Amino acid sequence: MRVSRAGKRKIFPMDRRSALLVTLASVLLTHLPAAAAPAAPAPAPPSVQVRLVPATVRQGDTVVVFVAGTRGARDVEGSLGGHHLAFFPYGAEYAALAGVDLETKPGKLPWRIGLVDSAGTPRKAAGALTVKAAGFPVQRLTLPGKMVDLDPEAERRAANEAVRMRALYDTVTPERLWRGSFTRPVASRKPGEGFGSRRIINGQPRMPHSGIDYSADRGTPVVASNRGRVALLGEFFFAGRLVALDHGLGLYTLYFHLDGVSVTEGQVVERGQTVGTVGTTGRSTGPHLHFAAQLGPARINPPELFALPVRD
């Protein structure tokens, strides 16, 4: 189109070249791809599913931490109350035993779990376990003065023996030796008693009783509560003749005041195998078995092991 000097528009026909260009542009615009839709976000990795059994505990209890959604995962680790959890494969899950020490303050005990999934992605979970007071009884005992007020030599001996026990508990075998349910270590007419009792001996408050006592006749067989390795044999001032079994992953069971011992250090024993006989050695007022359990730094109520929800 052009404008003449007279101001009137004159329309000239489009030449063939211009028409061809217009047609080509129309074809190109028609066949241009539509704008790509924004890519959908990658699905989030499945969450770490953690359950604690039981969900609420008392002082001295044992809790099992189960972690699901871990197929193909590696480096599963965690803690309860700041203490390391030793996990082991359990079916399609991972599991760990944790102890609540008998002197843990009631309240919330924080836990955390971390792992690296099969895609190499770090995943985490955290929460808190409710701990309630156990209401332990107070027990009053009268013992000979020489068994309470230690002379310097006996005091040094007892202190050295305590160091040996702490060193034992700090040794964590990375292999789980125990399998299935735990069993009572001695045939007794009555259930064990005394765990957590606050002892007042000759009017003086003492450390709480960290095991249970089974009344039994001298010479009654004492058996391993579960499969384990004999980690320590000893003749201690307080515990008398003793056997300590290492069940792996920080779990120990202890058998005190024995009359005789039928195992050797380093020996692997099976659940129900005889390790000794009931006696009254050490600090004892009569024939009985003091049976105790230590899980990491926690002194736990031994019968808790009899009801663990882990069956393999």
CATH number of the CATH domain containing 83: 2.60.40.10
pLDDT at 203: 86
Q: Are residues 246 and 123 in the same domain?
A: no
Do you find a cis peptide bond into 221, omega within 30 degrees of 0?
Answer: no
Q: Are residues 105 and 145 in the same domain?
A: no
Say if residues 217 and 280 touch (Cβ distance below 8 Å). no
Strand-pairing partners, residue 244, are 232, 254
Q: Are residues 77 and 123 in the same domain?
A: yes
Domain end residue (candidates: 79, 104, 132) = 132
Say if residues 62 and 182 touch (Cβ distance below 8 Å). no
pLDDT at 39: 58
Strand-pairing partners, residue 289, are 214
Q: Distance between CA 81 and CA 100 in Å, rounded?
A: 9
Residue type, 217: D
- CA contacts within 13 A on the Cβ side of 168: 24
Backbone φ and ψ for 218, nearest 5 degrees, come out as: -60, 135
Q: Count how many domains the chain has.
A: 2
Query: b/e for 97-130, b at 16 or more Cβ within 10 A?
Result: bbbbbbebeeeebebbbbbebeeeeebebeeebe
pLDDT at 285: 87
Query: What DSSP assignment string belongs to 164-200?
Result: HHHHHHT---SS----S----SB--SS--B-TT-EEE
**pLDDT average per 10 residues of sequence, the chain (312 residues):** 48 52 49 54 67 96 92 88 95 95 97 91 95 92 76 92 97 96 92 90 87 96 98 97 98 98 98 98 94 97 94 84
Strand-pairing partners, residue 51, are 66
Q: Are residues 189 and 155 in the same domain?
A: yes
Domain end residue (candidates: 85, 100, 132) = 132
CATH, residue 180? 2.70.70.10
According to DSSP, residue 309 is labeled: S
Which parts of the chain fold into alpha helices (H)?
A: 16-31, 145-148, 152-169
- Edge-to-edge strand ranges of the sheet holding 49-53: 49-53, 62-68, 93-99, 88-90
In 3D space, the residue among 183, 265, 176 whose CA is nearest the CA of residue 224 turns out to be: 183
Q: Are residues 111 and 193 in the same domain?
A: no
Residue 92's alpha-carbon distances to 39, 68, 101, 233, 285, in angstroms, are 33, 7, 29, 38, 49
The label of the residue with tokens 């509560």 reads 225
Collect all residues with Cβ–Cβ distance below 8 Å to 134 and sequence separation of at least 6. 58, 59, 60, 102, 196
Q: Are residues 108 and 151 in the same domain?
A: no
Q: Are residues 157 and 62 in the same domain?
A: no
Q: Print the domain residue range for 164.
A: 138-307
- Residue 17 included in any domain: no
